[in-house]
Structure 1
């Protein structure tokens, strides 16, 4: 257990926050710090063909130790952390033999991780939890996944009696800003299928995800002295408010679950002359996804129609771009890769939790790039904020699942 803890902490204490406003890959220079560290660690444990390209994509090989043909299986995680909350100066706290009560993360700021609010905590009573100190995120998304992949490869190298085919591992930058797979060389990776280790609670196995789009809505205005503004001023901030109010009020993240889609306003920045609204659009169903994008365009068109005579040109510009699609379409035709993962969990006495992802992973895009790539739990909870935590036992189990998938695949394809 301590080996996994030490490895995980060595990753999360390196700041790898990505930046959606950057046009470089990786989007932040500091991501190279952990990337280079991982390259050296992969070499040190005995992995072969360890490479890192000019965009910080890392790949490595564990050669087959059987004499029959086995499909090449890949395991993928990302090393960046979200820009939604700071990942600088992470100071993990280790809670051994968790008693099921409140955990004071930061006494000075009265920040408490409580099972009263986060009920999932209770299933980990008696286990070892790693939490934040209340001032940063933890980074289990997805440094827990990297910990598990490296630990599984190290275990297989040190235990050659476990038979397996060729395994490829890949670590990516910028997943949290939707670009983790953009420059991933699927042909170079050379796997028949893969798994992202990027899920949450123990047992999660996911092959359905949102269809996703991002929208930038620009509102124009006219600034006039407020004392003489009647019939002349157009306040772009009020137009933006009108737009947001026209979105379905119950179709937001905090009021939806399961297969229900949503609109999510992520940022509003404005003045009288110009306001920018950014939002994301999500739905598992492709037709409903297209309808949601059309709804955004219709609201913008209605405001344009209302102000065309006064403003003389479109006053609202809606820029809507697709981000990724539901991987189900690409995974169902090769459903045996789900069967293998499910069997691996059951043989380890883990109850598989097969459910749709209310988000996305690198695997969504990789599946459409020719690498079917469902998602397996990495163990963390409450990602992207100060209440993030991960049970060490979940990371251990995820590591065992990787080993078991490798072992089962070799057995299944033996004659």
Structure 2
């Protein structure tokens, strides 16, 4: 397992934080440092057709080692980290033989990773954990996925007795800001289906995700001396507050689970004259998703109607844009690709946890671009913050799943599988 630890640490210590405010791809140049390292590693382990384009998309091929026809499959992960929490100067801590007790991440600031709050920790008692030092995120999302894919390809190269078809690997920038698949060349990738290695807990297997939209809302105001403001001043911050209060109070991330959707205020900046609010809208059900967007627009319209006479024009301006959709619609017609991953896990003694993603992956976008792409666990927990950690044994199991999927793909009669689904 030391090989996995060393590779993972070499990835997470490179700052690859993406930037939603940047118009470029990748959104930050520093992402290319890791992208170029990945190109070198893929070539070093023996992959062919290794490429990186001007936008930082990395692809490579493990050629087939069988004579019969096998579908070309792919494995995809992203190398950027979330801008929600700093990814600069990551200093991972290795915790061997975890004893099930509190882990002090940072003694000076009394930052503790505790199973009393993060109960999933107890699933990994006796295992080796990699944590943060309490000052940054870790980057297991999705550098654990990178580690697993590269390690699995290396293992297959070194063990030609394991039969497999052609395998394509793809690494993307900017997934964390919703742009990872924007200019992914599906035709060039050339796989019939793929798997993103971007899930969390060991055993996760997901082919459903949120429908997602983002809203940017501007509230205008009128500044007047507060001593003479009666009937004249309009405080844009208070209007923004009114808007937030009109959203359902229990339909927020911290109050929902499973298939329940939500509204989530992700940014709020302002002054008396102008306030900007950023909001994300999520729901697995397409009809409910549509209703959520209409609800936001209705609140905006009601505010504009209320202030029409006093302000003289729209006081609230909303821009609502769809971001991605539930991949279930595109994966279900090829459900055998989910069954294949489930079979691989069961053969490895891993209990599959088939559940909806409360988020999205590159795979949700890629599925609508012609590359059906379920999601498989990468092992990490508590993404996007200082309490992030990953069990090394989970990463090893993810490597095993990739290898087993490759092996099963070369021995499965997919003509029969396709007929079963019709």
TM exceeding 0.5? yes
Tell me, yes or no, if the aligned pair for 1:212 and 1:280 is still in contact at 8 Å: yes
Give the 3-state SS of the residue equivalent to 1:61 in structure 2: strand
The corresponding residue for 2:4 is: 4
For 1:233-287, what per-residue CA distance to the aligned partner results, in whole angstroms no more than 9, with x for missing partners? Answer: 1000000000000000000000000000000000100001100000100000000
Mapped pair 1:246 → 2:246: yes
Give the 3-state SS of the residue equivalent to 2:141 in structure 1: helix
Give the 3-state SS of the residue equivalent to 1:109 in structure 2: coil
The corresponding residue for 2:342 is: 342
The corresponding residue for 1:282 is: 282
TM-score normalised to structure 1 length? 1.00
Give the 3-state SS of the residue equivalent to 1:123 in structure 2: helix
The corresponding residue for 1:148 is: 148
Tell me, yes or no, if the aligned pair for 1:70 and 1:413 is still in contact at 8 Å: no
Runs (4+) of structure 1 exceeding 4 A deviation are none
Tell me, yes or no, if the aligned pair for 1:102 and 1:113 is still in contact at 8 Å: yes
The corresponding residue for 2:87 is: 87
For 1:47-73, what per-residue CA distance to the aligned partner results, in whole angstroms no more than 9, with x for missing partners? Answer: 000000000000000000000000000
Mapped pair 1:68 → 2:52: no
Residue 413 of structure 1, CA deviation: 3.5
2: CA distance, partners of 1:414 / 1:138? 39
C-alpha change, 1:300 and 1:353, in structure 2 (3 Å) is same
For 1:345-388, what per-residue CA distance to the aligned partner results, in whole angstroms no more than 9, with x for missing partners? Answer: 00000000000000000000000000000000000000000000
2: CA distance, partners of 1:30 / 1:414? 42
The corresponding residue for 2:325 is: 325
2: CA distance, partners of 1:414 / 1:384? 38
Give the 3-state SS of the residue equivalent to 1:279 in structure 2: strand
The corresponding residue for 2:37 is: 37
Residue 135 of structure 1, CA deviation: 0.1
Tell me, yes or no, if the aligned pair for 1:68 and 1:414 is still in contact at 8 Å: no
The corresponding residue for 2:419 is: none
For 1:270-325, what per-residue CA distance to the aligned partner results, in whole angstroms no more than 9, with x for missing partners? Answer: 00110000010000000000000000000010100000000000100011000000
Mapped pair 1:107 → 2:121: no
1: CA distance, partners of 2:236 / 2:301? 15
Give the 3-state SS of the residue equivalent to 1:98 in structure 2: coil
Give the 3-state SS of the residue equivalent to 1:37 in structure 2: helix
2: CA distance, partners of 1:319 / 1:408? 46
Matches within 5 A, 1:2-401: 2-401=2-401
Q: Which runs of 5+ in 2 are unaligned?
A: 416-422
Tell me, yes or no, if the aligned pair for 1:141 and 1:380 is still in contact at 8 Å: yes
Give the 3-state SS of the residue equivalent to 2:410 in structure 1: helix
Tell me, yes or no, if the aligned pair for 1:214 and 1:279 is still in contact at 8 Å: yes
1: CA distance, partners of 2:411 / 2:383? 36
1: CA distance, partners of 2:333 / 2:413? 18
Tell me, yes or no, if the aligned pair for 1:258 and 1:356 is still in contact at 8 Å: yes
For 1:19-65, what per-residue CA distance to the aligned partner results, in whole angstroms no more than 9, with x for missing partners? Answer: 00000000001001000111001100000000000000000000000
1: CA distance, partners of 2:115 / 2:252? 24
For 1:78-101, what per-residue CA distance to the aligned partner results, in whole angstroms no more than 9, with x for missing partners? Answer: 000000000000000000000000
Count of matched residue pairs: 415
2: CA distance, partners of 1:387 / 1:133? 9
Residue 414 of structure 1, CA deviation: 8.8
1: CA distance, partners of 2:13 / 2:201? 22
2: CA distance, partners of 1:183 / 1:26? 11
1: CA distance, partners of 2:321 / 2:166? 37
Q: RMSD over aligned Cα, in angstroms?
A: 0.7
1: CA distance, partners of 2:414 / 2:15? 44
